[in-house]
Amino acid sequence: MVQQHNSLQKQLLVDTLELCPGIADVNSGIKKVLIVFDDVNESSQLASLLGKNDQFGSGSRIIVTTRDKHVLNALGVDGFYKPSRLNNVQSLQLLSIHAFRIIFPPEDYVSISKKIVSVTFGIPLALEVIGSFLSDKVLWIDTLKKLKNIPDFEVQKKLSISYEALNYEQQQIFLDIACFFVGMDKTYVSYMWDGCDYNPEKEINVLCLMSLVKIGDDNLLRMHHQLRDLGREIVRQESFKNPGYRSRLWNHKEALDILEGRRGTEKVEALSLHFELRPERKPRFTSGK
């Protein structure tokens, strides 16, 4: 793990130097920088990457996003911002933008739109995903009934309504992305789905229209961390206690334990392995589909 962190720190410094071509090496000048670390779940990751505080110039800003406040406490962060939920007006606008592509719902949809807003509790991701899903008029009343039965804090269950509306191929591609392919080139990964006789171009387009997946300008697959967690939880529930009976194994340790213990079953369709002793190699992905 130390070797991996050192490699990441080196890459961070190299990238910084490339952005500041006037600096030949780390010690020849200290610049003011802005660095963003997204979705950090371990304080040791940041400690290894950042090293000493004096390696960045005065006025530098380091922004960290995390779902675990303890990560910030462990680093001695003296200030943090917790995004507030949207109010009813903002929620209605966001829902309308994704459902109708306009800032306010059509007159015959205003009433039910407000009811949808009242049970999504100002959660932007839920409003975006559900709004995109509700492009079909017949789904509105049924979706409202389902949302009313889901408690405020169970965001994943609210999001799962959209997942359940996908066809089989769309669900499989969604789960593959959630477990393995966030941050990977869409073109490269599509070769595998082509081999499964899926229609990746069409199905990924549907996932994008439903705001379940995004494609960056760099053609990389993107997915909100709560949607990624939803996909992985769906796979985990296939066999909560025995990973060898799950369709996908994305955790290196679990996959390696299954292979070494010969406890895998025919239910395992794909697994990912990453060997930290060879950090220059990309994670190895094996599909049994």
Q: What tokens were used for 217? A: 């300008």
Between CA 119 and CA 146 the distance in angstroms is 10
**Does residue 272 share a domain with residue 190?**
yes
Q: How confident is the model at residue 280 (pLDDT cuts 50, 70, 90)?
A: very low
Pairing label, strands 248-249, 270-273: parallel
Residue 79 maps to a domain: no
- The answer to whether position 81 is within a domain reads no
**Whether 91 contacts 122, CB under 8 Å:** yes
Task: Give the residue numbers spanning the domain of 283.
Answer: 168-287
**Residue at 199 is within a domain:** yes
276 plus 212 within the same structural domain: yes
pTM over 0.85: no
Min mean pLDDT across 71-75, 103-107, 237-241 is at: 71-75
Give 125's DSSP letter. Answer: H
Residues 279 and 173 occupy one common structural domain: yes
In this structure, are 60 and 132 located in the same domain?
Answer: no
The residue out of 74, 105, 122 marking a domain boundary is 74
Residue in the structure block whose two tokens are 């719902």: 105
Last residue of a domain, one of 164, 191, 217: 164
Q: What is the pLDDT of residue 54?
A: 59
Domain end marker among 133, 164, 195: 164
State both tokens at 168. Answer: 């089989």
- Using CA atoms, how far apart are residues 116 and 146, in angstroms rounded to an integer? 10
Residues 188, 274 share a domain: yes
Structural domain contains residue 50:
yes
List CB contacts of 216: < 8 A, sequence separation 6 or more: 222
| Residue 83 resides in a domain | no
Task: Please tell me the least confidently modeled range out of 146-155, 161-170, 215-224.
Answer: 146-155
117, part of any domain: yes
Categorize the per-residue pLDDT at 150 as very low, low, confident or very high, splitting at 50, 70 and 90. confident
pLDDT (0 to 100) of residue 219: 93
- What total of structural domains would you count in the chain? 3
Q: Are residues 204 and 95 in the same domain?
A: no
The answer to the question of residue 82 being in a domain is no
Burial degree of 186 (CB within 10 A; 0-12, 13-18, 19+): buried
pLDDT at 80 over 90: no
Residues 49 and 65 in one domain: yes
Q: What six digits make up the tokens of 146?
A: 């389902």
CA 97 – CA 61 distance, rounded (Å): 33
289 pLDDT more than 50:
yes
Do 196 and 267 share a domain, yes or no?
yes
20 pLDDT higher than 60: no
Do 185 and 275 lie in one domain? The reply is yes
Measuring CA to CA, which residue among 161, 170, 178 is closest to residue 204?
170
Give the number of other CB atoms < 10 A from CB of residue 218: 9
Judgement on whether residues 243 and 176 belong to the same structural domain of the protein: yes
Do 66 and 99 reside in the same domain of the chain?
Answer: no
Q: Specify the 3-state DSSP secondary structure of 127.
A: helix
Is 36 strand, coil or helix?
Answer: strand
9 is a domain residue:
yes
Note whether 99 and 135 are same-domain residues. yes
